[in-house]
Structure 1
Amino acid sequence: MSSSQTSGSIDEQAAATGFSLGAELVTCRSGYAHHGIYSGNGMVIHYAGFAKSLHRGPVEEVSLAQFAGGHDVTVRQSPAARFSGPEAVRRARSRLGEDRYRLLTNNCEHFVSWCLFGEARSHQVRACFVHPRVAIQAVKGLVQAYVAAERRRRASALANNGSGTALAF
């Protein structure tokens, strides 16, 4: 899926590619992969975590376009999943609003793993401990994401202020 598509075409693409209910969706970000559960009708349940800013976010249901954040979305096949389809979505919805995100112990990948397998685990976190180079790349990606989010926040503050001076917070 091209990052230049509009949200309408992303939803059409979801229907065309046949994302199945309860499928694990993955979008690669700068230095890490972001995970969610496809809940149908162009919607995804995910642990927002640091996907939008440095302030952690809760488990939420968002449009496929919001989940993608301008990045390609792929389906990770999980034939050994203990829970699938409507049951995986039910499990994901049972945690909507939860706000206990922790990068190393309760992130978006832990959440999706719990929805599908009943066990919270993160291959990305494990890889960071086993391969320090992976950890360095992840930290670099998170810093880049933070800088980009700060630039967006400041540009928004300037636009909302209208005077061309930054707002003091």
Structure 2
Amino acid sequence: MKTDKQQRTSDHSIEPLLGAHLITPRCGYCHHGIYVGEGRVVHYAGFGDGHRCGPVEEIPLARFAAGHEVWVKVEAWPKYNGTDAVRRARSRLGENCYRLWSNNCEHFCTWCLHDENRSEQVETWLTEPLAALHTALRLLLVETAARLSLSRTAYVF
């Protein structure tokens, strides 16, 4: 869901500004990261690679996008921007304390830019229970489909 405060950056020939807050849609939620230059993003991996929580890591923009569009969230008066936001993002590389409700990828980006621990997605899920239920069901369906796909391929000889 792209809002008027987000700019489409699917054209990978246009490089985002250093410290830009990037968003890419996933099934039922949006993933967030900080652009650190040279086609790289620092993000909280979270559950991105499956069942185990991943750390804060620096990855190529294409891997962050994972085949989805990427948007730049226009931040109103960030406390840190540019190289300061990049420095803050990189200062947490390797941190492995992901928590969906209190320390996710959006919390990470908000901290990098505003020195606040905040996630609009979590706030929406908490204030709109149907939105949370919808997201949970979509994630469950995706997970179930992935497990079924893996179990079928595991027995192919």
- Per the TM alignment, residue 93 of structure 1 is displaced from its structure 2 partner at its CA by 0.3
Note if 1:114 corresponds to 2:106.
no
Question: 2:140 corresponds to which residue?
Answer: 143
Alignment gaps of 5+ in structure 1: 1-9
Q: 1:44 aligns with which of 35, 41, 44?
A: 41
What residue in structure 1 maps to residue 128 of structure 2? 131
Q: Check the 8 A contact 1:38/1:44 in 2, yes or no.
A: yes
For residues 132 and 57 of structure 2, the distance between their equivalents in structure 1, rounded to whole angstroms, comes to 27
| Preserved contact between residue 32 and residue 141 of structure 1 (Cα < 8 Å) | no
Q: Tell me the equivalent position of 1:3.
A: none
Closer/same/farther in 2, CA of residues 150 and 89 from structure 1, 3 Å limit: farther
C-alpha separation between the residues in 2 aligned to 1:152 and 1:65? 24
Q: Quickly say closer, same or farther: Cα 1:92–1:79, change in 2 above 3 A.
A: same
Task: Specify whether residues 143 and 80 from structure 1 end up closer, same or farther in structure 2 by C-alpha distance, changes over 3 A only.
Answer: same
Shift of 1:145: 3.7
Shift of 1:141: 2.7
TM norm structure 1:
0.80
Counterpart AA for 1:57: G
Residues 75 and 137 of structure 1: is their aligned pair in 2 closer, same or farther, counting only changes over 3 Å?
same
Alignment check: 8 A CA contact 2:15 2:39 kept = no
Aligned to 2:70: 73
Contact 1:52–1:149 (CA under 8 A) maintained in structure 2: no
Q: Residues of 2 paired with 1:116 and 1:21: CA distance?
A: 12
**Which residue number in structure 1 is paired with residue 20 of structure 2?**
23
Once superposed, which parts of structure 1, at least 4 consecutive aligned residues long, lie more than 6 Å away? none
RMSD between aligned residues: 2.0
Identity, % of aligned pairs? 46
Residue in 2 that maps onto 1:5: none
Q: Is the 8 A contact 1:54 1:146 kept in 2?
A: no
Aligned to 2:156: 164
Deviations 1:12-53 (A, max 9, x none): x43x32311100000011110100000111111000001221
Secondary structure in 1 matching 2:86: helix
1:101 aligns with 2:98: yes
Q: Which whole-Å CA distance do the structure 2 matches of 1:44 and 1:119 have between them?
A: 20
